Amino acid sequence: MILASPFAICILAITGLALLGLPIGLAMMVGSIGYLWLAGMDMGTVAEQFLNGMYSNYIILAVPLFIFAAEIMNSGSMTERLLRFCNVLVGHFRGGLAQINVIQSLIFAGMSGSAVADAAGSGRMMQNMMTRENRYTPSYAAALTAVTAVVGPIIPPSIPMVVYALVSDASIGYLFLAGVVPGLMMTLVQMVQVVRDARRNDFPVEPRVPLREVPRITLAAIPTLLMPVILLGCIYSGVTTPTEAAAIAAAYAVLVSVLIYRSMTWREGYAALRTSAKTSAAIGMMIGGAMVFNYVVTIENIPETLRRMMTGWELTAVQFLILVNVILLLLGCVLEGTAILLIIVPVFIPTAQALGIDMVHFGIVVIVNIMLGLVTPPYGLLLFIVAGISKAPMRDVIRDSLPFLGWMAICLAIITFFPGLVLWLPRLAGYGG
């Protein structure tokens, strides 16, 4: 790449503007406009690519709908009732509150599709519960909240899976199914680590919920627990598309919060709608900017050039996946996950296809990598979120999260080297890959 070429200037402009604090979506648009101008091309192509990317992809509608559903659950009492139900299941074990944190993230994952929504919503409540009366240190509560929130986008539904399907043309339904086993694996190793920590640190044992209270708590949680059942049932029965199922999830969350639990006021509903709109607009701007930049990348023939280069290296499929893991884990330390999915991953896809790697398996490997990046020092986004909530020193939060991160890295290796484990459920559902 010649430093004075339009593409080199485009990359430098995007990098410089992003470092100066401009949102990455806008930085990509500005850099792409500069490329088209320097190359003597029609700059109106930017608007064309932006509009085509945003309005011709029906699948993108699922993103704001899942975000809105998560905000409604956090605004109403759905999350609180879920936590009480989790307390019935595991609260009476040593380190019970920590185990509740793990279990609620698993269940909440089947509703929101967002790690940030999990950490900032139910995760905030869990941190408050765990640190009350000094049961757990703020740093441990924060670290556990961060690493358990990672499961959110791996268990269906998943906003990153929607974005990956957008850039790879992989089936969302099969991607959702492929995430189930890896998500359960990660939940299991987190629970194992909590057991080890509970024994070593003598974590407190919570009072057992009286038996007479169990039916009432369970009954109150049923409408919340039915949400993932309805959502996934609609998708895999063929009744709805994933986007339509996202709309049903949002409508169901409103119905339960307003009519069944009667726990959400007009003010809270408006706040949830406003927050969802802001988050969706930010993601939409990033997607639009990535569409424009990907047009530039296509003009420069970067994916094909990379494919030929890697073919020259004579990499096997396993070696390629190891290389992708290393690159994505390093990028995850400094870049936001959606940016990686939209900018970096499309460059890898042609090579992965040429090597015969299944696109659903590849998608799960990519998404698990990106989720690990959310809790990888020094710039893991979830680490900053939970540290801000808990007011714990970042170094302590990182220290307490490292054992969990080690376990999840082992899960990533298993997922990478044993694609049959990932594709087992999709194949049961008829997937031919």
Q: Residue 287's pLDDT band (boundaries 50, 70, 90)?
A: confident
Domain ranges of the chain: 44-428
Q: Considering only 26-35, 221-230, 266-275, 290-299, which range has the smallest mean pLDDT? A: 290-299
The pLDDT value given to residue 397: 87
CB 90 within 8 A of CB 100: yes
**Average confidence (pLDDT) over 280-298:** 75
The pLDDT value given to residue 99: 83
Supply 359's token pair: 């696109």
The pLDDT value given to residue 201: 84
The pLDDT value given to residue 49: 65
How many of the other CB atoms lie within 10 Å of CB of 59? 15
Supply 50's token pair: 């932006």
What are the tens digits of pLDDT across the range 67-89?
A: 787 777 766 677 777 777 777 77
What are the tens digits of pLDDT across the range 395-414?
A: 888 898 899 999 999 999 99
What are the tens digits of pLDDT across the range 145-179?
A: 888 888 878 888 777 888 888 888 888 888 988 99
**Average confidence (pLDDT) over 294-315:** 72
The pLDDT value given to residue 109: 65
CB 59 within 8 A of CB 243: yes
Q: Residue 424's pLDDT band (boundaries 50, 70, 90)?
A: very high
**Average confidence (pLDDT) over 217-244:** 79
What percentage of the chain exceeds 90 in pLDDT?
Answer: 12
Contacts of 358 (CB under 8 A, 6+ apart): 419, 423, 433
The pLDDT value given to residue 185: 93
Could you give the C-alpha distances from 398 to 147, 234, 250, 382, 402, in angstroms and in order?
A: 11, 39, 34, 11, 6
Cis peptide before 228 (omega within 30 of 0): no
The pLDDT value given to residue 242: 74
- H-run or E-run covering 284: helix 266-299
**Average confidence (pLDDT) over 374-386:** 75
CB 155 within 8 A of CB 402: no
Q: Residue 363's pLDDT band (boundaries 50, 70, 90)?
A: very high
Question: Which region holds residue 190: left if phi is over 0, alpha if psi is between -120 and 50, else beta?
Answer: alpha
Q: What is the mean pLDDT of the chain?
A: 80
The pLDDT value given to residue 190: 92
The pLDDT value given to residue 71: 77
Highest mean pLDDT among 199-203, 242-246, 306-310: 199-203
Report the alpha-carbon distance of residue 7 to residue 52 in Å, rounded.
22
Burial class (CB in 10 A: 0-12, 13-18, 19+), 221: buried
Cα 368 to its chain centre, rounded Å, is 9
Residue 43: is its pLDDT beyond 80? no
Residue 3: is its pLDDT beyond 80? no
> What amino acid occupies position 347?
V
Residue of higher predicted confidence among 428 and 214: 428
Residue of higher predicted confidence among 322 and 29: 322
The pLDDT value given to residue 32: 81
The pLDDT value given to residue 339: 75
Report the alpha-carbon distance of residue 288 to residue 248 in Å, rounded.
25
Q: Residue 361's pLDDT band (boundaries 50, 70, 90)?
A: very high
Q: Does the pTM exceed 0.75?
A: yes
Report the alpha-carbon distance of residue 344 to residue 111 in Å, rounded.
28
Residue 142: is its pLDDT beyond 60? yes
Q: Residue 366's pLDDT band (boundaries 50, 70, 90)?
A: very high
Residue 268: is its pLDDT beyond 90? no
What are the tens digits of pLDDT across the range 88-116?
A: 777 677 777 788 888 877 777 656 556 66
The pLDDT value given to residue 414: 94
